[in-house]
Structure 1
Amino acid sequence: MSARTAAEDTYFTGLARAAAGALLFGFPLLMTMEMWAFGAHMDRLRLALFVLVTAGVAYGLSRFAGFRDETTAFDDALDTAAALLVGFGVSAGLLFAMGLIGPGTSLREAVGMIAVQAAPASMGAVLANRQLQAGDRDGEKEDRAGYLGQLFLMGAGALFLAFNVAPTEEMILIGFRMTPWHAAGLVLLSLGVLHALVYTVGFAGQHEHEGHPRAFAHYTLAGYGLALAVSVYVLWIFGRLDAGMSEAVRAVIVLGFPAALGAALARLVV
């Protein structure tokens, strides 16, 4: 087999894995009725910002957690473009196959539905080789990312898990039924679970602060802050913060719990 043929085989294998990753990461949201409505009616400026943020997250994942150990910024940009194309392609294909978009769907609605669904699919495409490639990975690339890179990975994990539950009506209902005491208890529970999971999974550099109070601030508090910031962003994108301040704060705290879990388990997810 020539070197060119081997390279082509590797490329098409990578594309196949990317499509499989996009399917695995994007399929749960594809089956959510709220996502169809959000995609069809979301404000176009919010949708444009959403796509830009998705592209930025995909680039960061390629940079810090991609399957190739040595890459340049240009390589990561190409990988990001490929992941976005795969994510949009898989999302469009599935929506069409299930009859959710078709000849009778307006261009505005079709574009919105595909773009919203493509966000988790694109993340899955970037991470496909990490999740599906045979053999063990020791996470050296993530370890070399540094503290800011670790925070980025936590934010990406928070975004992925929060995005899977934020569109549902149950998130708003839970916040509506909570009392201030429930909200305070959930904040403490989120911090406790995040702290326990971070030190179970293991983040690069945390051993330097083992047993030191700064470790709690550097990873647990920082991670929870990222989880809350991601929650605000996702809820705003989906128009869930348009109610009163009290309802919005409780919704952020509720979504902050799964987002904190995603941040803590980022090393397993990405």
Structure 2
Amino acid sequence: MKFNSRQKSQGKHQKNPWKSEINDIVRGVCGGFLFGIPLLYTMEVWWIGSSATPMMMLVALVLTFIVIYLLMRTEGFRKPKRFSRRYQSLTETVEAMGIGLICSAFVLLLLQEISWGVSLKEALGKIIYESVPFSLGVALANQLLGENGNNPPDNRTSRQDDAVDDNATFSDLSATLIGAIVIGFNIAPTDEVAMLAAAVSPPWLLAIIATSLLISYGVVFQAGFSAQDKRRQHKGIFQKPFSETMICYLISLIAAAIMLGFFQKLTWDDSWTIWLEHTLILGLPATIGGAAGRLAI
């Protein structure tokens, strides 16, 4: 029976190679965002990247490659192993670094830290230095957040009682709030949020909203992390993928606004547009933290 089930599983992966490939990449991207987003809100890293020489960039890439390769030797971000351990570790290392570079470039562009007015050398320096934590997140995605990790099994779906469903909803909302605070609390008192908000235009704010929602959905419901299939079966008020993603995003935004007010980065004298801009900027990492919080329960 074990042999037959293993054959069915392997056949399933072989029948849907493109779907499996996309899921692997989504898992790596989500892992990169979970681990890499805090440093993207650190101006010191922007400055280091801006002033980095080509030799420093090369050294950063080489060191990152070595570390990622060693991590990939233990597991990697792909679930089924398709090649020999050594060959797969090498290819996954290159892919992880590629994902890290693309994700960091995307977010830096989204936050307007790189634009057409930035020199190629400065843009490359920022992207390379910011890609390091992203690549580490890709490499660690399965080990720390995979189905075989230390996350407790989610058995809430085995109960049909309304009170239990309400409790599952409350648990998710609470976990979202806690995760948003854990990530956002380190960023809210800094000057980076105000700097980014001053440079971002309304179309880019809409792009930030869309990115926040997509990452939150991907982390919880698409990346194949802990108890993903069971989460889709929850029957609480806000337990469907779309409604849960939307309500948890609103909670993350509320948490972001409260943290900005707590640290006096925003006051009642500020206009609603300033509140909105700052909240949406901080809402991106807060939303990712909220998604991580839901994975932890």
Give the TM-score normalised by structure 2.
Answer: 0.43
Instruction: State the structure with more CA Rg.
Output: 2
Return the structure number with greater helix share: 1
